[in-house]
Structure 1
Amino acid sequence: MKILLVEDDKKIGEELSFQLELLGYKTSRVENFEKVIDDFNKSDFSLVIMDLKLPYKNGFYWTSEIRKVSKVPIIFLTSASDDINLISAINYGADDFIAKPFSMQVLHSKIIAILRRSFDFNDVDDLKLKYENLVLDRDKMILEIDSKSIALSKNEFLIMEILLESPRKIVSREKIMDKLWATESFIDDNTLTVNINRIRKKIKALGLDNLIHTKKGVGYYIK
């Protein structure tokens, strides 16, 4: 899934891009705010996050321009959270609205909900992450293999997601903790170890005693 970020505040744009990529999305940031539609047409985006107050022309204008050529989902991101702006955003073609300052957990929930409504996930199966015959269901937060399944807590799910996105590759402890912090799960090094041990105990019920391996002093990997 690739997301176009239309945000003129460089610091916010860079941080938003960083956090979304930790969550597994690909992002592209608009640099020339006179030609937003040109950046949009350069790639096949699954979602647009659009700021309201932009140089040259505002987010309402660019939303209406995108709507002339695409039905891609658009989330408005703005500090102007009054009802008039909300109504205007919807009237111009936005699908949702989130006010600054915002929680990444709330934004991520909105992204998942919009993508689920907008695309046929039964066909593209984007809500399921697969490794061999193991399936991580992103919608239900469960891990499945053959006819067996286990439920995961939020932190357990996020850890399994980042490991399964790069199977057989070592994922550093720092990268895992960055992802958890991005969703406001404020954990430290010791808490990460506890969560990994809990996952290992849970997946034994699936017959996966040796799924998660440790690279001492570095991180973890799936094999």
Structure 2
Amino acid sequence: MNSPSAKRILVVEDEPAIADTLIYVLNNSGYQTEHVGLAQTALTQLRAEPFDLVILDVGLPDGNGFDLCRQLRRFSEVPVIFLTAHGDEIDRIVGLEIGGDDYVTKPFSPREVAARVGVILRRLGASSTNGQPSAITGHFELDSLACRIRYRGQMLDLTRYEYLLLKLLIEHPERIFSREQLLERIWQDPGEVFDRTVDTHIKTLRAKLRAAVADRDPIRTHRGLGYSLQSR
């Protein structure tokens, strides 16, 4: 029996056999698990109730899991693990770039999925407990407890990985981070992510910073080395 404080997991999977196995393993791992089989039902439930993590099948009868994740990211940063029958690299890249936290290809071990759930939730928990109330670097104001960043007085609308990337750069101004270091520090499992993912997130970060201040680009590219943040 799960405790009242157990983390809540929503499994969005239309194949009953897969869903039942996942629910059994997750419940035995101490999580409180709920299950839906349709994208629209999942979206409605995610708008109405708080969940700590979503396990999301990419191929659903009434929609695509990637599309559902895009809609979810408009109002929530809940972690998402994708399930898919496809193993193509491009699918993995798309899933991670639109805001997914992990990617598991069928057939898979339910215990491995439960272990990945634990890794993501522990990482997010450590991030929130270690945060400092506020810090100012150059023209940036970082509020780690609220997971918010202001740039030249303007609040930035960031995805989770954009926030984590910018937070790391703010905390170490002028330090050059290689792509490999950023993958290891932010995504924790560099074997499952790609260099292109870092470049894509840096690109979207720059676009949001330019939207705030058009003539400034505080993120510097060091060819062959990586990226740094200017302190002034």
> Could you state the TM-score of these two structures normalised by the residue count of structure 2?
0.50
Moved over 6 A (4+): none
Q: Identity over the aligned pairs, expressed in percent? A: 35
SS, match of residue 82 in structure 2 = strand
Shift of 1:56: 1.9
CA distance in 1, matches of 2:115, 2:23: 16
Name the residue aligned to 1:53: 59
Aligned residue pair count: 124
Matched, 1:28 2:34: yes
Given residue 49 of structure 1, which amino acid in structure 2 is its aligned partner? I
C-alpha distance 38-99 of structure 1, shift in aligned 2 (>3 A): same
Shift of 1:119: 2.4
Select which of 89, 100, 107 maps to 2:113. 107
Given residue 68 of structure 2, which amino acid in structure 1 is its aligned partner? W
Matched, 1:40 2:38: no
Name the residue aligned to 1:14: 20
Shift of 1:37: 0.9
| CA contact 1:5–1:13 (8 Å) conserved in 2 | yes
Give deviations 1:80-100, integer Å, cap 9, x for gaps.
121011011012210110111
SS, match of residue 93 in structure 1 = coil
Name the residue aligned to 1:94: 100
Select which of 32, 56, 66 maps to 2:72. 66
Give deviations 1:12-43, integer Å, cap 9, x for gaps.
11221111101111011114433321011232
> Could you state the TM-score of these two structures normalised by the residue count of structure 1?
0.52
Give deviations 1:37-79, integer Å, cap 9, x for gaps.
1011232100000001011210001101111111111000111
For structure 1, the residue ranges without an aligned partner over 5 or more in a row are 125-223
Moved more, 29-38 or 105-114: 29-38
SS, match of residue 24 in structure 1 = coil
